[in-house]
Amino acid sequence: MRDQSTLKPASHAAQAIADLWWILFVVSVIVFFVVVALLLVGVLRRRGGGEPDRSTSRGATKFVAIAGVVVPAVVVISLFFASVATLPAVSPAGKNARMTIDVVGRQWFWDVYYRSRSIRTSNEIHIPVGVPVEIRVTSDDVIHSLWVPRLNRKIDVIPGQTSSVVFDANKAGVFRGQCAEFCGVEHGNMALLVIAEPQTRFDRWLTNEAKPAPASAGLSAFVGSGCSGCHAISGAPQQSRFGPDLSHFGLRQTIGAGTLTNTPEQLADWIRDPQRIKPGNKMPKLGLPEPEIQALVRYLESLQ
């Protein structure tokens, strides 16, 4: 997994959010210190004791009206307009989008569809750099929220409703995202990666994904172990949509929605006991013998 160490915005939308964040931060720091300063002045002034000086009460009223009403109103209204000005940059501009990807939130992974090419994959969204891509989201169960901070704001993922957000990466990279709405025990392990790559590389990836999974003898182990009761592999006899699609699993970077890095060792750990790694997730421990696990690992890693 490359380039995850930095949090620098990688799109115009994310830059607009970062700019607004700085404005809000600086204003709130200033307000905080002014309030603390006034508090101190109030405390120290009363030290002398005795009756408050009535002759200054007109000045005091004026001060309260300005510092307590006019200044806060100006601050709040300015911040309101700064926020409104940011909206166009972060909101879906469906008509500008040159591509649409459908993402379905599931407990606890992401189904990803490139419908025009009949591609289904999981937990990884490939996009071309410099192309605005409309990400249409919905949920199959409870409310989730898709958030890739380096690309855009959060978008709620609601059952029975389709919402969208635009990802328009201005540089290549791997941008981590996360479910941002509590959705059950494994909410914390519901991550995803957005992989932005130059158009030619993206096209090559897309063409490859659209092909059926490479045929191999491993498929019979996969079917024989009951995996195909929950997982689709293009070209296999059964096409269950219950779990993530595994057609080109060998090319993916993670296992279990960002829980493990995809290496043969970690894949074996996952198949051996997914409940130890991601407790409560919907793939049961199947208690398979070790040679069968190794055969499945070889098969799945060969699916490129």
Please state, in angstroms and rounded to a whole number, the distance separating the CA atoms of residues 205 and 44: 69
Is residue 62 within 8 A of residue 95, CB to CB? The reply is: no
Q: How big is the site for ligand HEC, counted in residues (CB under 6 A)?
A: 31
Among the listed residues 108, 114, 167, 205, the single contact to ligand HEC using CB under 6 A: 108
196 binds Cu ion (CB under 5 A): no
* Residue span 148-187 as binding mask against ligand HEC, x where in contact by CB under 6 A, dash where not: --------------------------------------x-
Phi and psi of 162, rounded to 5°? Answer: -110, 130
Q: Least distance in Å: CB of 157 to Cu ion?
A: 8
Output the CA–CA distances (angstroms, integers) from residue 299 to 144, 263, 293, in the order listed.
32, 13, 10
* Among ligand HEC, Cu ion, none, partner that 154 touches (CB below 5 to 8 angstroms by kind): none
To Cu ion, the closest distance from the beta carbon of 184 in angstroms equals 7
The whole-angstrom separation of Cα 28 and Cα 74 is: 13
Nearer to Cu ion, 255 or 267 (CB): 255
Give the whole-angstrom CA distance, residue 220 versus residue 296.
10
Q: Is 153 in the site for Cu ion (CB under 5 A)?
A: no
Q: Quote the CA–CA distance of 296 and 286 in Å, as a whole number.
A: 13
- Interface with ligand HEC in residues 195-224 (CB under 6 A): none
d(CA 293, CA 221): 9
Does 105 help bind ligand HEC (rule: CB under 6 A)?
no
Strands 124-128 and 191-197, how do they pair? parallel
Looking only at residues 265 through 294 of this chain, which bind Cu ion when binding is defined by CB under 5 A? none
Interface contacts to ligand HEC, rule CB under 6 A: 108-109, 122-123, 186, 225-227, 229-231, 242-244, 246, 249, 252, 255-257, 270-271, 278, 281-284, 286, 288, 296, 300
